[in-house]
Amino acid sequence: MTRTAMSRRKKRSNLIAYASLAMVVTLIGVLVMIQTRDPQRKLDNAKAQEQALDDQMQVEYARTEQLQLFEKEVQTDAYAEEQAQEKLKLLKENQIMFVAE
């Protein structure tokens, strides 16, 4: 083999090596980008879920407050009388019931 033929073969070999190295570096870069986007997506999902849970907590706190007020109302004598009149059709001593036919 002549010197120029060896030189061409060496250049071709170097070119293939550089191209392979460039492909490997590009592949590693793509994998790193994919890996960094995945945790960001998980973080975004977690933040959305946290916001949804916070909203649900606020709804439940409001409901708890309404139930506490209702509990206080139920414990009054006026509520007991009202329920007795409406549901049980009980009357006070001096009341008259009119029944429509």
Mean pLDDT of the chain: 87
Poorest-pLDDT segment among 26-30, 78-82, 96-100: 96-100
Which of the 8 DSSP states describes residue 2? -
Per-residue pLDDT tens digits for 52-83: 999 999 999 999 999 999 999 999 999 988 88
> Higher pLDDT residue, 24 or 90?
24
Average pLDDT over residues 14-22: 90
Q: How many angstroms separate the CA atoms of 79 and 73, rounded?
A: 7
d(CA 87, CA 36) in angstroms, rounded, equals 64
3-state class (DSSP) for residue 89:
coil
Query: For residue 97, what are the contacts with CB-CB under 8 A and spacing of at least 6?
Result: 89, 91
Answer whether 91's CB lies under 8 Å from 85's CB.
Answer: yes
